[in-house]
Structures are given as C-alpha cells and as structure tokens.
Chain A
C-alpha cells in the first residue's frame, strides 16, 4: 500500500510539473471554453423571457458539469491513445505495478488538477453572469466524487477501443456532444434517462446548486443509486478495457506497430 502511494506521488508530481510548465498551453484551452460559454450566455440573454435568470443558473451548472465530465473522460482516453502513439505506454506496462494501479494513480493526479481548473472556471462563470449558486461543499464533494466514476468508465471504454482501432478521433469528437446530453437530460421526466452515464449524479448536483437542497434531504435510495450506477459504469469501462487490452497484447498493439 505504501508503495502504491509512491506511485501516486510520482504521478501527482508529474502532472503538477506538466501543468505548471505548460500552463500557457492549457490556458488556450481554458480561454476557448470560456469564449464558448460567453457565446452561449449572450445567446441566452438575447432570448430573454421571464425565467432567464433561472436558465442562466442552469447554464452555469450545466456547463461546469460538462467541462468536468469531458475532462474526466478525455484524460483517460487521450492518455492511453497518446502514450500508445508515442511509445511510452509500453513502458507504463512494464511497471512492476499492475496497469490498473498505474491508471488509477494517473487518473487521481489528473482529476485533482481538473478539479482546480473546473472550480476556477465555475467562479469565473459565476462572476461573468452575476449568478451566485449554492456551493454547499459538504453536499457537492460526495456527489461529484460518486458521479466521476461514470465518466471514468466512458474513458476506459474509449481508451480500450483506441488501443485497437487507432483512428477513432472523429468518434471522440462526437462524444463531446453526447456528453452534453448525458449531463443535461431531465431524469425526472423520463425514468430511463437515470441509467445514462453521469445523468443521475448530474441531476442531484443541479438539485443542490440550483434548488438549494442538501445531500441530507435526498432519499437514501437516491444516493444508493448514485453509487451503484457510478460503480456499474466504472466496472463496465474496466471490463471493456481489459478485453481490449487482452487483444492488444495478443496482437502487439500496445506500441505503434
């Protein structure tokens, strides 16, 4: 266990070094996201209507959730894809730790950084729009924590597919938009939406941030479902990845053949 912590530390160090060293590169992406948001925001205001205030709050939360979902899923997929292409994935596979632990350490480190960026963005969006949301940390931290595994699961599914079929970038682009759907479908009106990855967790986060509810007001069954669905998608993702990994090791696809 102590050794696994060493691995975690190594990845934390690496991710923070890269974050600092390439801050201005990351800034480009952040600015783009901000500009897209501004356009959406101005569009919303233009439409107007009696509930515009509410829908802007919704937009802020939705956009933040989307950024979070996107970074969680993309980091895994893109890491696997990029490291396979550049030929460092094979070195990661030659670690004395099981690759699962390597990915866990990497995801943990990267998620911390994403959290910092996304929370920073959230404040920026709130100041920009002049909306102030209910940031009930006690409720939000566990909700976010149990919503993330949904997106990690997606990351592993696409990461695995990317190992075998190297050219999937077009599909990955489409996923960005599908994710908007996942974090914004009304789970209340169509029950089956509850089962989409991340949708249930997102709906609970909306309830805290917009309606001002607290996690203690949620039914126990709602929270159990939150954990269950997150775990289910994570396990599904890992299972798909494992199958792809097996094929890749059989066919020699961990590197760039």
Chain B
C-alpha cells in the first residue's frame, strides 16, 4: 500500500474525546489516506466531521487513540521534532501569529521557532513579504492590519520555513472575495511552483473546485469519498438531468417515478420538474418509459445539469446518510 511518492500517510487513525457526561465523541473513526508530494488536497466535511481533529493529529497537537501518521516516513509522535520540521500549519480560529509583533517580527520569530536563523532566512522573509503584498505593512503590528492581511501573514509564517507540508484549516473563512481569490492564487503558486504539499479544509466549495486536485470527504469521523476532483465531477456531471414537463403527472406515474433512487420530483400548478442523478443509463430510459405511459405527458425539455462541486459534495453527503440509514434498518 505504501507508495513511495506519498509525503504523508495517515493510517487507521482513531480519536475519541471523552466527555464528562455520556458516550465519548467519536471525532475520528478509523481514517486512512495518503497525500502525494506537491499535491493540493481538500479535506472536506460538514461541521463536526472531524477535520480539525485530523489536522491537529497530523500536527502532533492531539494524540490519537490509535493509528499512525508518517510524515515523509517519520512517525510524528515517536520523532516529533523531526516530523514537525517538515510541517507547518495555520489552525482554525487561532491567532497563529502574535498580534503585538510586526509583520516582519512575526516572520522572524517563527522562523527561529522552526530552527532557522532569521538572518539567514532574510531572503525568504523579504520574498514572502512581497509575495503576500505586505510590504507597506511590514513594520505595522499585526493587530493594526486587516483580517485578510492577518490571514495572509499567518500563511506567510507557515510558508517561510520551507516546510514540505502546509496545513491550512479554513484559510479563507471570513475573508472578502478579493482576499479569498488572492489566497487561492497564492496557494496554487506555492504548490505548482515550489512543489509543496498543501492540505486544506474549507466549507467553500468554490475554493475546492478552484484549487484542489483531490479531495477526502469525511462525515462523522469516517471517509465517505476520496477521489480526484475531475473524477468526481465527471462521475456526477454527465449523469445529472433535469426534465421539465408541461403538465402534472398521474398518480400512477408519480408512484413509479418515486421508486427510482436519487430522483426528486417537484410539482407546481401546471408543470412538473424531475431531477435525476443517474446511477446507470438504464434509469434514464426507465424514466422516459414511465413518462410515456400517458400520451398527454409532454416533455418540454431535458437538460443536462450544470453541476458544480458544491452540489456533488451535498450529494455525496446525502448518500452517506442514506447508507447509514439503510444499515440501521437492515
């Protein structure tokens, strides 16, 4: 299973948080995945899915109950410092930087914390100050710069020490559109030009669609999908259709249609909309057959749906919920 070009291996990680009252929370429930060098990986999932916990376990900040993390082949709890030399992170909801230090002082301080002599890193520090467009603010204390700039500074701090893996937990949260776009561009540059590995969590599917090459989707601590973005897009895109009908359907037709999985029916006064996510092309013809039972049913249009990643994401989550229900029933 161990492929030589993967820089991060997460294997069978389990984390339960014990709480004062009641059952422990299964935050991470046996997760395994690998990340290749130079890849931008999106770690997605609804609130409470276990993304932040997973990120912090990778950063050696939370000890898993079981399972291992290998950073470039190094176990991150057995050889903590060595592994941490290869990782940097911008964590969710944290300041990550010192608000009372200036932009440059922050970069210098954290460089030292990662084992570098700030003087020897001057070129890199200058580079990132330029790169993140912080030149004007270089001598401002961080509490005086805007939220977007603070976030950029936090990312710059994570970048400046050349760590091979950069983890970003919700890097665009609360940023305006412009700042969000800037950060996306920067991340692409970092991965493509510098060959660094970026792992990010976000709820913004536009960000995912725009920059991630591959996604791992988790829900309730388990991986429910893991694939390259374009595969997920292809899988869903060509097979989603919207039928618009002129009239209402008969009860007979409705009942038959509703028996088809992944089909939603929307009836208004004088029209019907059917949305269909196809499992296989068989169902497409099945729908047509049902519609043809009545001669009067006029199909006004059949559209292949424009699907964005957000919709795919929702579908994947929806399916995993259904699976869970099926399991509970069966």
Binding site for B on A (CB under 8 A): 3, 6-7, 9-10, 13-14, 17-18, 21-22, 86-88, 90-98, 102, 249-252, 254-256
Contact = CB atoms under 8 A, between A and B. Distances in A.
A200 to B, nearest CB: 36
Contacts of A97: 81, 113, 115
A88 B106 CA distance: 11
B126 to A, nearest CB: 18
A91 B99 CA distance: 14
Contacts of B94: 86-88, 90-91, 255-256
Interface of B: 17-18, 53, 56, 59-63, 81-82, 84-85, 87-89, 91, 93-101, 105, 108-110, 112-118, 141
17 contacts: A6-B116, A14-B98, A18-B100, A21-B141, A88-B97, A88-B98, A94-B87, A96-B85, A96-B114, A97-B81, A98-B81, A251-B18, A252-B17, A252-B61, A252-B62, A255-B91, A255-B94
Contact of A10 (B56, B81, B95, B112): B112
B72 to A, nearest CB: 14
What is the predominant secondary structure among interface residues of chain A facing chain B? Answer: helix
B108 A10 contact: yes
Given A14-B105, A252-B17, A255-B61, A91 B113 contact: yes
Contact of A96 (B91, B115, B118): B115
Nearest to B157: A91
A98 B96 CA distance: 19
Contacts of A102: 113
Contacts of A255: 56, 61, 91, 93-94
A21 B100 contact: yes
Contacts of A90: 56, 59, 61, 91, 94
Nearest to B53: A252
Contacts of B89: 94
Contacts of A254: 61-62
B88 A94 contact: yes
Nearest to B100: A18
A124 B110 CA distance: 37
A3 B117 CA distance: 8
A10 B118 contact: yes
Contacts of A7: 112-113
